[in-house]
Chains A and B, each alone.
Chain A
Amino acid sequence: MIELKDLSKIYRTDTVETTALNNINLSIPKGSFVAIKGPSGCGKTTLLNILGLMDRPSTGEVLLEGIAAGNMNEKERNRMRRSKIGFLFQKFNLIASLTVFENVELPLLYQKVDSATRKSKVTALLKQLGLEGRMNHYPHQLSGGQQQRVGLARCVINDPELILADEPTGNLDSKHGEEVMQLLCDLHQDGRTIVMVTHNDSYASYASEIISLSDGEIVE
């Protein structure tokens, strides 16, 4: 499903050149659960952003279902991201001024889904995640675990084929971390492809494949 060919990412300022990713070649089959490990600054998040079409590589190619992402314009990348990719963040990245319901509803809103469908889908999903009583709460009224479940709900509401999770348990205690991992496993069981960045070995062990990064390169 995803193929990275000779992919590099270099950040340049006037005086400094930093290589975030160096010559990455990777293939992620559809339905797999991949964990990306590595120390801070090794390029994990950069790789995830490139996979999520939020960033462009300096060189190399990204193929999503055989389509070269490099050839897509911003609109096409947006459309692809909107329909096929879901993001899960360490810091949840919920919009503080929106309620739980409104946060989860966002992707559907941008897909121009009608109001009734949005309402039924969001309600059903929040119920499934045990958040039906929190629909009208604001993010700051929720615990970290609940916030991440809202983040997960928002991530999957548009039924994406690929879920990119950037240290989804990083801000959670072990109990809530386990909960989130279990939900990710359930999504994997449903056939979704999951790419997760993590520092934690035990959470990495949930994945079917572990990729280690160091200084922007894949290490065996």
Chain B
Amino acid sequence: MILQHIQLAFRQIGKQKFSFAIAILGLAISFAAVGHLVSYSLCYRDYDKSVESNEEWYRLRYSDLHPELGEIASASFFIPPAPMLLRDIPEVKDYILYWPSIIALNLRCDGKPFQMEERVFVSANFPEHYKMQIIYGNPDSLLSDRNGILISESISKSFFGDVNPVGKSIYVGENPRYYISGVFADLKSNLHLKHDYYSLWYNDDEASSNSEDDWYLTGHVRLRISDKEDIKLVERKLNQMLEHYRSVIGQTGTLQVHLDPISKIHFMPGLKDDAPTMSIMNIWSILALSLMILAVALINFLIIIGLSWKKRGDEFYFRRAVGAGKSELFWQMIWEYSLYYGISVLIALGLYAATMGIFRDLVQADTFSYSVLRLPYAAYAVAAILGIGLSSGWLMSLRHSRVMLHQNAWHSVHKHRGSMFLLFMQMIISFAFIAVAFSVSQHYSFIRHQDLGWESKNTIQYKFLTLNDEGRHGYYDGRILRQRIREIPSVAKESVSNFNVASKNLDDNNGLHEIQVFLSNSDTNAPIRAYLSSCMPDFFAARKVRLLQGHIPTEDSDSRVVINERFAKAFLGSENPLGNKLSFDQDEESTWYEVSAVVEDSWYFPTHNEMIPLIYLLKPNVIKYYQITWQEGYKQEVISALEELFADVAAGGVFGYSSREIETEQDAFYAQDRIYKNISLFMAIFVVLLAVMGIYAVSSVTVHAQMKDISIRKVCGAELPDLLKLYFRNYLYLYTGSGIIGLYLAYNLISIYADRFTLKTGSSRLGYPVAILLMALVVFVPLYINILKAYKADANRYLQTD
């Protein structure tokens, strides 16, 4: 009997190839897509969870609460005093230190430049904490002295090939200074402090707490606290400690420590020196979107299977006539449903496996490790698939076997309320998807291609430490370097600054120093908080940062500064900002700087961040960043010449250099948003296709079931517009109702998305008219085609006598 049902189900597929292909393939594609998106979400949800005893580790950070300035939250803590926590607070069982060095050195190994762009100093237990797999080197002495450098497998391979590099010397100038102490297997991508080079953090002095130096250097500090109950106690003790050393620390507000579980740190926004790796909203919305896409495909599947049963109303009617009861019809239906669903799941598995690599490359995340084909996720996937299949199959078979039992064959094909309801739901989701995807896409496009307030096109930035004066030993003279850059053919222009023009974190490492500022005309004498950096006076003209008021002072004007528009508006209000004086200290001897110009706001950082109030000093003694723009079409020539130049100027000193293309850096700012946009667009296209197919299938069956009515109307003189009016009216109600709900849903989703950016754009509103227009086509074109077919059909067939 079961075999007979399955045979019959296969025959149905053969008879209605197109409909079943839509239903089965649609569901299979959505299962595969949902599988990928779940892997992606798991990968980010699991950030930092692979470290040893992750639930016992907390990031230690502090914030500075000031009555006038509010709370300044940092992701860092003071590094040198951290070891003493182990001694003074017994609840702290262990600690990890991490401090990235921003100064690149001019290193050589095996006679070649050894570029170590960013080197981080960590405590000796770091390899164990990150469960590093050691390929070469003695695991017990990887970070046993200050000169050992632990490198990643990929760096080892790219520099030394398959040779074991352990023990090789690394030279600074002519002197062997460091050596390679070990090689570790590349770390998983979802680790917060993942790097390619690690050195031992060392402190020449015994860890102390009362030296000012000790409380100056900040970095990433983690503590292991085995008992969750102790968290509050540890926080209290740490707060007391900060209060005790307050004068040494030198902060003016109330300092407060925070212990964040490390599994949550990469989602945390609002910290000045650590941008979140991913927005938790993105994770949830991607999961929500994937559930919606599954819902749409499942609805399509249910509609088409349901309609195929309704089409066979006669068959079920005759089965009843020869003795079949509700139970027999139910089991026939559930076996048929299981077959269709099973085929879909099998195709989904194949699709998922075949597209895993493509998806991993697309989202640039280690989705393989979180594949739903691997345990334990596979078990959940099987449970979910079985759960969805059994519940939907059971409900469908129950409903349809009852319908077939209680209604005659004619009515069973004539009523489609269930299908229409499912279609309505599908249309709501389609409206929402189109509007969201289009808006997100528009928003991304706007943010990515906006005028940032400075010219970034065709530009590369070199990071290299120089003096803006006659060079001392180890430093190259910045003026000479600029001259040599200008002499390179096809260089369109160059500029220099002490801040990174493409910085993700607004912090000291990127040359944006958050400071207290005192205004001379302030009534309260209370400080304000702003950012300070420096550049050469010609920076603004070279980078087309528009001058709004005043004039840019020369390099010799020691006591003049330039402020940005945000600073002027926030702190100087309606008064003329020019001539105002500001100071960075409250001492009587402190220097007062006069505001001599206001320039427009420029985004040197992602637009997720609010625009900062910025003060530009115009006499940088030390220069860190060189921005060089090439003439269109001369990129390779200019970059080759620059590489040669910087290698040459670095060769004589201790400092190394690195470079980044601005375009690439700015792209990296929005990598997650881009992935989100691509996923939304892909899913919207898929949903639209499913909606077209669903509406075509439903309208085809609806119209077909009413061929007799249509024929009668034709006999009564109805023409095509009359029929269109009749059927369009019903779908117009569906369209309008689903549009209102769908667009309202979209409005909320778009608002949540746009809230992540401080730079607002009106372009996201375009999603609504696009959704309205596209859905009109999606709904009414398939309907028109079906009505046209019905109108052209031979009416006599449906009106003939018996």
Contacts and interface: CB of A to CB of B under 8 A. Distances in A.
8 contacts: A87-B715, A90-B801, A94-B712, A95-B712, A96-B414, A110-B719, A110-B722, A166-B801
A135 interface: no
A110 to B, nearest CB: 4
A170 B794 CA distance: 23
Interface string B785-796: 000000000111
A78 B713 CA distance: 11
Interface string B85-117: 000000000000000000000000000000000
B800 interface: yes
Nearest to A107: B716
A54 interface: yes
A158 B718 CA distance: 13
Contacts of A78: 714, 717, 719
B709 A95 contact: yes
B193 interface: no
B801 A45 contact: yes
Contact of A82 (B712, B717, B796): B717
B343 to A, nearest CB: 32
B802 A91 contact: yes
Given A49-B796, A81-B717, 19 more contacts: A45-B800, A54-B714, A54-B795, A54-B796, A75-B719, A78-B717, A89-B801, A93-B708, A93-B712, A93-B799, A97-B709, A106-B712, A106-B717, A107-B717, A110-B718, A110-B719, A110-B722, A154-B716, A158-B717
A55 interface: yes
Contacts of A81: 715, 717
Given A49-B796, A54-B795, A95-B712, A111 B717 contact: yes
B799 A89 contact: yes
Nearest to B713: A106
Contacts of B719: 75, 78, 110
A167 interface: yes
A55 B717 contact: no
A137 B718 CA distance: 23
Interface in A157-173: 158, 166-167, 170
Nearest to A158: B717
Interface string B709-746: 10111111111001000000000000000000000000
B717 A167 contact: no
A55 B13 CA distance: 34
B715 A91 contact: no
Interface string A99-128: 000000011011100000000000000000
A81 B711 CA distance: 13
Contacts of B713: 95, 106, 110
Interface in A36-88: 45, 49, 52, 54-55, 75, 78-79, 81-83, 87
A139 to B, nearest CB: 11
A62 to B, nearest CB: 15
Interface residues on A, range: 20 to 34
A68 to B, nearest CB: 21
Contacts of B794: 55
A96 B716 CA distance: 15
Interface string B695-719: 0000000000000110111111111
A158 B794 CA distance: 24
- Which of B414, B717, B718, B802 has the most A CB atoms < 10 Å from its CB? B717
Smallest CB-CB A-B distances: 10 pairs: A82-B717, A110-B717, A90-B801, A106-B716, A107-B716, A95-B709, A93-B712, A49-B796, A87-B715, A110-B718
B462 to A, nearest CB: 76
Contacts of A82: 716-717
Interface in A181-211: none
- Which of B716, B722, B800 has the most A CB atoms < 10 Å from its CB? B716
A90 B714 CA distance: 17
Contacts of A170: 801-802
A82 B717 CA distance: 5
Interface string B22-37: 0000000000000000
A13 B800 CA distance: 19
Nearest to A53: B715
Contacts of B708: 93
Nearest to A167: B801
A55 B794 CA distance: 8
A91 B800 CA distance: 8
Contacts of A96: 414, 709
Contacts of B717: 78-79, 81-83, 106-107, 110-111, 158
B798 to A, nearest CB: 9
Nearest to A55: B796
A109 B725 CA distance: 12
Contacts of A45: 796, 800-801
A77 to B, nearest CB: 10
Contacts of B716: 82, 106-107, 110, 154
B713 to A, nearest CB: 7
Interface in B295-326: none
A110 B719 CA distance: 8
A54 B715 contact: yes
A100 to B, nearest CB: 14
Contacts of A52: 715
Nearest to B799: A93
A91 B801 contact: yes
A90 B802 contact: yes
Interface in B740-778: none
- Which of A49, A93, A154 has the most B CB atoms < 10 Å from its CB? A93
A73 to B, nearest CB: 12
B160 to A, nearest CB: 75
A81 B801 CA distance: 20
A188 B711 CA distance: 26
B649 to A, nearest CB: 85
Nearest to B709: A95
B414 to A, nearest CB: 8
B722 to A, nearest CB: 6
Contacts of A109: 722
Nearest to B722: A110
A196 B737 CA distance: 48
A111 B712 CA distance: 15
Contacts of A94: 712
A18 to B, nearest CB: 14
Nearest to B796: A49
A167 B801 CA distance: 8
Nearest to A157: B716
